Structure formats: structure tokens, C-alpha cells
Homo-oligomer: A and B are copies of this chain.
Amino acid sequence: MSDFRLKVFYTVAQRLSFTKAAQELYLSQPAVTKHIRELEQQYQATLIDRSGSRVSLTPAGRSLLVYATRIIELYSEAAIEVSALQHQTSGTLTIGASTTFAQYILPQMLARFHSRYPDVKVNVYAENTERIEQALQDRKIGIGIIEGKTKNKALRYTPLIRDEIVLVAATRNKQARKGSLRLTELPAVPLVLREPGSGSLEVIAHALRKAGLRLSQLQAPVRMNSSEAIKSYLLQSDAMAFLSIHTVLRELERDELSVVDVKGLSIERQFHLIHPHGEPERLAGTFQQFALSYNHML
């Protein structure tokens, strides 16, 4: 038997990449390699073929994946079931969330949450990180979800999901057609950036600095303070923008916007659940359990 190992295997099987799986699981790549190797030893079978440049499942791997999937589902169901027995399942919960999360991810999450706990009323309080932390300490909200991670000692941070910030452009943009861009070409591109002081902008600046570029070297003719506004602008121009992948999922699907890969640049951050130390409020605990197992539901 082996539980976390199965989850690792499952993730690798989904992403067909050891490195991607490692990121998703907040692990190093060698750790993933090791888990897979030990699973293979346990089952005396090669589960994943990594002889070529792409990894793929062997027959034994495909067979195990069926079981792994079901087992992981059951773990998740068990957690919800037991939690439902324990926690209060009616009342009102106020969730504080950062704008991006509140607009693009939380809605679907709440839809599922509601079907599971129909008697819980939820208020959403969309604000910036600082205000959410304050509200949490004042007990104005039961739980918070923020981008990045500050180190407020009165609060506990639990990684929830990974957010990736990508460079996007209107699909008809010729450079977008190419699909990728060198880092050195970036200063030539007109960009729409968020307003100074925004958390997103800081993450972007930090990642650029690590790659050897200053924000001041970039062309930023326009600054806007809302993702929706930026997207509209892009559709009307040849500019590009750095946006959370979650904010552009719909436009990517409709093929209105496209992701432009920048070689050597990767901008990531995580959404964290935050809650005060000690026992969580009951409804907050229920929601936390739910949110953490939400990943498993895909």
C-alpha cells in the first residue's frame, strides 16, 4: 500500500511530466522520481516509460491508474463525509478572497460547495490581501484566500492552488501567432500593466528581475487596474499583458486571446488559504476541508 505515492503517480500520469507533477505537488523533481521508482519496485513493474523525450504510461501503469483514480476519489469522499458529520452544516460563512480568485475561481468552487452543503449561506468579500488579513484578525470573516503569502505570524497559511501569470495577446496579433518570444524581445513589445502598488505587478517585477530585466526597460504605455479592462484593451490593440491564467481561460477557449510563451521566464504564485491559529470556526473548517479536497476533484 502507499497513499501519497499513488497521488504522485496519478499526478505524473495526468501531466505526463515528472517536473510538472513536482510543481503541482510542491515537491522537488527528484522526490517525484523516487516515488515512482519505489512504486515500480513495489509492483515489480515499469509503470511509466521515460526512455524517449516524452514520458508515457506502460500497460501496467494504465492499469494502476484506474485504481489510483478511484482510490483518490474515495479518500476525498471520505474526508467530506466525515467532515460533514462533524462540522456544522448550516449557518453563514463569510469568505474573504483576492479579486482574481473571487472573480474567476471561487464561483465554480462555491457552486460545488453549495450542492454539498445546501444549508450554508456564503458571503464573499473581495478585497486586497492586507484588508483580508485585517478582517480575519477582527473576526469579520471566517476564512480568507489570498495571492502570494505574507508572513503575518497571527495567521496560518495553507497552499491552495498554484496560479501562473502568462503573457497574452489578441489571437490576431502577429507575434501571438508565433506563439513564443525571447526574453530579449520583450522590451520591444507594448505592454498593458496593472497599476503600481498592485500585488500582481510586484510578482511580475520580481520574476523579471530574476531573469535580468527591469520593469523600467519595458514599454508600458497603458496601466489599468482591472483584468477585465486589460483584456478588452488587448482585443483592440497589438499590446500584450501579463495576466493570471485563470482570468483568461474563457478567452483562450474562444480563441480570442492567446498565450505567448516567453523563453526563460516563468511567473508563478500561489493562492493560500489563511485562517487564525488554533481551532477554526466550524463552518470555516468545513469550507477548508472542502477547498483542499477540491483540487482532487480536478
User: Is the pair A43, B3 in contact by a Cβ cutoff of 8 Å?
Assistant: no
User: Is the pair B85, A45 in contact by a Cβ cutoff of 8 Å?
Assistant: yes
A26 at the interface (CB under 8 A from B): no
User: Is the pair B85, A44 in contact by a Cβ cutoff of 8 Å?
Assistant: no
A14 at the interface (CB under 8 A from B): no
User: Is the pair A83, B7 in contact by a Cβ cutoff of 8 Å?
Assistant: no
A1 at the interface (CB under 8 A from B): yes
* Measured CA separation A71–B7 after assembly (Å): 14
* Measured CA separation A79–B2 after assembly (Å): 11
Residues on B with C-beta less than 8 A from A289 are 44
A183 at the interface (CB under 8 A from B): no
User: Is the pair A82, B7 in contact by a Cβ cutoff of 8 Å?
Assistant: no
* Measured CA separation A60–B7 after assembly (Å): 24
Partner of A64, one of B2, B68, B78: B78
User: Is the pair A82, B60 in contact by a Cβ cutoff of 8 Å?
Assistant: yes
Tell me how far the C-beta of A43 lies from the nearest C-beta in chain B, rounded to whole angstroms: 5
A63 at the interface (CB under 8 A from B): yes
A42 to B, closest residue via Cβ: B79
Within the oligomer, what is the number of copies of this chain? 2
Partner of A82, one of B2, B3, B64: B64
Q: How large is the interface on A (under 10, 10 to 19, 20 to 34, 35 or more residues)?
A: 20 to 34
Partner of A44, one of B7, B78, B83: B83
Tell me how far the C-beta of A37 lies from the nearest C-beta in chain B, rounded to whole angstroms: 15
Partner of A71, one of B4, B71, B82: B71
User: Is the pair A67, B74 in contact by a Cβ cutoff of 8 Å?
Assistant: yes
**A81 and B59 in contact (CB under 8 A), knowing A3-B1, A3-B2, A4-B1?**
no
Residues on B with C-beta less than 8 A from A85 are 45, 59-60, 63
A150 at the interface (CB under 8 A from B): no
A276 at the interface (CB under 8 A from B): no
A47 to B, closest residue via Cβ: B82
16 contacts between A and B (CB under 8 A): A1-B3, A1-B7, A1-B75, A2-B3, A3-B6, A43-B83, A44-B86, A44-B285, A45-B82, A45-B83, A63-B78, A63-B81, A67-B77, A67-B78, A67-B81, A71-B71
Instruction: List chain A positions with a Cβ less than 8 A from chain B.
Output: 1-4, 6-7, 43-45, 59-60, 63-64, 67-68, 70-72, 74-75, 77-79, 81-83, 85-87, 285, 289
Q: Please give 19 more A-B residue pairs, beta carbons under 8 A apart, in addition to A1-B72, A67-B74.
A: A1-B3, A1-B4, A1-B75, A2-B3, A3-B3, A44-B83, A44-B86, A44-B87, A44-B285, A45-B82, A45-B86, A63-B78, A63-B81, A64-B78, A67-B77, A70-B74, A71-B71, A71-B74, A71-B78
